[in-house]
Copies of this chain bind each other. A is one copy, B any other.
């Protein structure tokens, strides 16, 4: 899939507008890249994929667009160890699994309320507004992708 659907386009426009920013072809294309292949690409990977759809785009713009998308709340950054930042358009609360063999990062859905429940371990003085849960390990063999 090459272009952003009408629905996604409106999601983007609304979210950007809400944070006082404008939809642009570059932002739409980058957003489309993230929606099309949800494998937590790095900025480099987003750049490569975006360039194949819009050859004139620059790395700086990719970083700018990603930052814009993050600030508008449409995309989340995923940082694991000291590896390059990855980008994730999955807005539902979820955990991540980081495969030591391939370096790949997988979304792990969690039952509703699970992430919020975790804050129960926090002593009262800590007011958490975000919870991050990352597993690291291996995929059992016989699994693909």
Q: Which residues of A contact B (CB under 8 A)?
A: 77, 79-82, 85, 95, 97, 100, 106, 108-111, 114, 118-119, 121-140, 143
Contact = CB atoms under 8 A, between A and B. Distances in A.
A140 B121 contact: no
A135 B119 contact: yes
10 contacts: A95-B121, A97-B128, A108-B126, A111-B121, A118-B133, A119-B135, A129-B136, A129-B138, A131-B134, A134-B134
A113 to B, nearest CB: 12
A126 B139 contact: yes
A131 B135 contact: yes
A58 to B, nearest CB: 21
B136 A122 contact: no
B126 A135 contact: yes
